[in-house]
Chains A and B, each alone.
Chain A
Amino acid sequence: MSKPDENKEEPALKGTFASVMLLGAFIVVTWIGVFALFMARN
């Protein structure tokens, strides 16, 4: 007998993945921007 999980279909997370990565990219870009400004003014 298999676990009930294994019979379930994987949820489609492609769209979620794309939006998480877009948000992550936004955070990285703004962080680098602020950091570069800070270093330039130092």
Chain B
Amino acid sequence: MHLHRLEKIWLKFGISMLAVFLIVLGIMAFSMGMKPPSEHHHTVDPTKVAEMAPFDNPGLNQIGKNHYEAVMTAYAFGFEPAEPMQVPVGSKVDFIVTTSDVVHGFAIVGTNVNMMIVPGEISHISHTFDKPGEYLILCNEYCGTGHEYMATTIVVQ
């Protein structure tokens, strides 16, 4: 097969670009533990979320020095716990979130925290809060008529 000289150049360029993107993705996956939030395949019966541990007692638990676990439930239309959670600056928070009804979103504005909350699945994500402030947590997956009221906050001080 005959290829034009310029064609060879742009094919090499395209293939090396793909290789670079995939290598970066691979390095991030293994060195930084990047994975989809529902990768753990933990399942829960969405109709019994309120009775099952740990979702029978949603809230913030300290699990180490500057390390917290936030157990949360998303429902139409809000989050449990509804009152703002408070953590000190520099804290790492492991969010463990599920839904008791339909598909919801879980995004913290200004951070990389952004995941889908799917019925029957428990989604996990961690974030270290290095800057003080009030962070808005909201649902970004249209879930019904009250979707826009579905928000809570986490206060970092």
Consensus secondary structure, chain B interface = helix
B4 touches A41 (CB 8 A): no
Task: Give the contacts of A1-34 with B (CB-CB under 8 A).
Answer: 5, 10-11, 13-14, 16-17, 20-21, 24, 27-28, 31
Q: Which residue from chain B places its CB closest to the CB of A28 in the assembled complex?
A: B17
Given contacts A13-B7, A14-B6, A35-B24, contact A24 B13 (CB under 8 A): yes
Per the CB 8 Å criterion, the residue count for chain B at the interface is 14
**Tally of contacts, chain A with chain B, CB under 8 A:** 28
A20-B10, A41-B112 as given contacts; A5 in contact with B2, CB under 8 Å: yes
Cross-chain contact of B6 among A5, A17, A31 (Cβ < 8 A): A17
CB distance from B106 to the nearest CB of A (A): 16
User: What residue in chain A is nearest B13 (Cβ atoms)?
Assistant: A24
A5-B2, A13-B4, A28-B17 known; 13 new pairs, CB 8 Å cut-off, are A11-B4, A13-B7, A16-B6, A17-B9, A17-B10, A20-B13, A21-B10, A21-B13, A24-B10, A24-B14, A38-B112, A41-B110, A41-B112
Using a CB–CB cutoff of 8 Å, the interface residues on chain B facing chain A are 2, 4, 6-7, 9-10, 13-14, 17, 21, 24, 110-112
Task: Identify the A interface with B (CB < 8 A).
Answer: 5, 10-11, 13-14, 16-17, 20-21, 24, 27-28, 31, 35, 38, 41-42
